[in-house]
A and B are shown apart, each in its own frame.
Chain A
Amino acid sequence: MKFGMLIDLRKCVGCFACTIACKAEKGTPTGINYNKVKKYEVGTYPSVKLKHIPMPCMHCDNPSCMEVCPTGATQKHETGVVTVDANECIGCKACMIACPYESRQFLWEIKPYYEGQERTPFEVYKQKDFQEGTVVKCNGCLERIQEGLEPSCVQTCITGARIFGDLDDPNSEISRLIASSGAVPFQPELGTEPSVYYIF
């Protein structure tokens, strides 16, 4: 199986449900957001439009972040998902410089969400594997994929703009849609061979 995601930007309404679903699923600390949705404008005044583009980790086939990692903390899982082992990461941030998609963040500090209060039991439970001073990123909801589920951002998308599937299977929905719609990865010219495709 090879992890693949297709995002149909024609269907994306910029509701940020995927961002929230990701935060709830992963319990990411304050300031950490694996599933960014970038806003951008197209057209010229007065005929302008605000558009959105979700920018998750592209889980590249040739990930530059993995190549530069000096300790081997960044690995490519057999499903194609790119992961970071917090126990191996030294926090050098070379991967953040190398990633052309801003997919990685540095966990400077784990702080409670509610100022002046302790972390909630939910936060404590969800954040038990996070380590300050390491680099964190989307792991493609690997634990969900291994259970046969879709990543939470895909499951929650209200317009069905995100399709998840196996890129190795030519008969999978995602493979057929990529072939028929002319979907393309973001900045394919960089040679990182992203596993996330977009229909612009």
Chain B
Amino acid sequence: MSTLDWIIFIVAAVVFVITGLSILYNMIKGHHKTRLTDKFVWGLNIQIFYALSSFGTGLMVVMSAIILIVGNEFPFKILQAGNSIALACILAGVIQMGIDLGKPARAIKVLLGGKFNSPLTIDFIALTVLMILSIIFIVGMGAASLAAMKVWAYLTILISVLCMSTHTLLVASRFESGFRSNSFFSAETLVCSIWSGMAIMILLSSGNPLTGVFVQLLLVLSAAGLITGFSSVIVSKLGKSEIHTHKKVFILLSAITFIILVIGDLAGIKQGGLVVLACLLTLAAVIVEKASSVIVIQQRPVIPAPFSNLDPKERYVPSMTEIGYLLFSIAMIAVIPYGVFLIGFGA
């Protein structure tokens, strides 16, 4: 590892330990230092859970697709690094969800409850299976045959997409019927996952001959993100619903990403600063979309007008504790891949 890599790793490890201790404390004592209320029952932590699981599942779908398309020809090390990042994202996301529980020590009841029609149970199982699949890839797929890798890819695609759709199901009840609903919400969730996964893959595979193809696919996915976002605004307009700032920011980021990638494509740019910028904007757009699908939907009154017209208007601003949890996740995403590299699987 280079000096810069060591610095990143050590700083991330220190942040990881400090914020990890506070998380441990809160998981044991329960969380009272958030700004969550009975109106905003899910906040920054669930937003980050959605975003990180979106990155992780999206990356795993992209890696599975690569295995199915080019087989053994794609560098194994990149796929291994991708899996360690996907594992870190999913694990960090699951911890965010765990922190948000009122009784984190009882989380095992999700499996014991046997409620397999509950979106949360499906999500819990799917994310656990995905983490196992990524560990299997990191540890045991080095000498695996193409057939074994393909079996891994089939399973990973199915479970990842199941996980993505679950994240629509969890908040589906907050979308109203008819024109007031956002019929493009599921599409947005799916697109954002694969789009962010592709962006991470481009950042990982810099210099690979296939990166140019990935960048073009990113262009296609940014168009899908832009248009599904735009369509949901049209649906809101038809239903005379409020179009909130997060949705506008998402569309703006998608549009800028699309334009950057079109300019890059016309100029024949397949890597470098412009592509990195497009990838980072993609990740930012997905995080904003998750704020939109987790937090903003809770701003709307649950009880319809006129019965809710006199309800107090609440706003949600995350507390320092919740921001601390976010730092933990960011640190974890750096620590796990570097840790995998240090242990030697990536060597």
Residues of A with Cβ closer than 8 Å to B? 38-42, 53, 55, 64, 67-73, 88-94, 96-102, 105-109, 131-135, 187, 189
Contacts and interface: CB of A to CB of B under 8 A. Distances in A.
A90 B118 contact: no
Contacts of A101: 302-303
B306 to A, nearest CB: 5
Contacts of B120: 68, 70, 92, 94
Given A89-B102, A94-B119, 20 more contacts: A38-B303, A40-B307, A41-B310, A42-B306, A68-B119, A69-B115, A70-B109, A70-B118, A71-B110, A71-B113, A71-B115, A72-B114, A88-B109, A94-B170, A96-B41, A97-B173, A97-B298, A102-B303, A133-B102, A133-B103
Interface of B is mostly: loop
Contacts of A88: 106, 109, 113
15 contacts: A38-B308, A40-B310, A68-B173, A70-B120, A71-B110, A73-B113, A89-B103, A91-B101, A92-B100, A94-B119, A96-B41, A97-B42, A98-B173, A131-B103, A132-B102
Interface residues of B, number: 41
B303 A55 contact: yes
A70 B119 CA distance: 8
Nearest to B311: A38
Nearest to A50: B310
B118 A94 contact: yes
Given A70-B121, A108-B32, A100 B302 contact: yes
B102 A91 contact: yes
Contacts of B124: 70
B38 interface: yes
Question: Which of B32, B104, B120, B177 has its CB near the most chain A CB atoms (within 10 A)?
Answer: B120
Contact of A90 (B41, B106, B303): B106
B112 interface: yes
A193 to B, nearest CB: 15
Contact of B170 (A97, A105, A132): A97
Interface of B: 30-32, 36, 38, 41-42, 100-104, 106-107, 109-110, 112-115, 117-121, 124, 170-171, 173-174, 177, 298, 302-304, 306-311
Contacts of B173: 64, 68, 97-100
A73 B103 CA distance: 13
Nearest to B177: A189
A41 B306 contact: yes
A93 B309 CA distance: 24
Contacts of B114: 72
Contact of B102 (A39, A40, A135): A135
Given A64-B173, A70-B110, A106 B102 contact: yes
B105 to A, nearest CB: 9
Contact of B174 (A39, A97, A108, A133): A97
B41 A93 contact: yes
B118 A69 contact: yes
A136 B267 CA distance: 60
Nearest to B38: A105
Contact of B113 (A38, A39, A72, A134): A72
A189 B176 CA distance: 11
Contacts of A109: 32
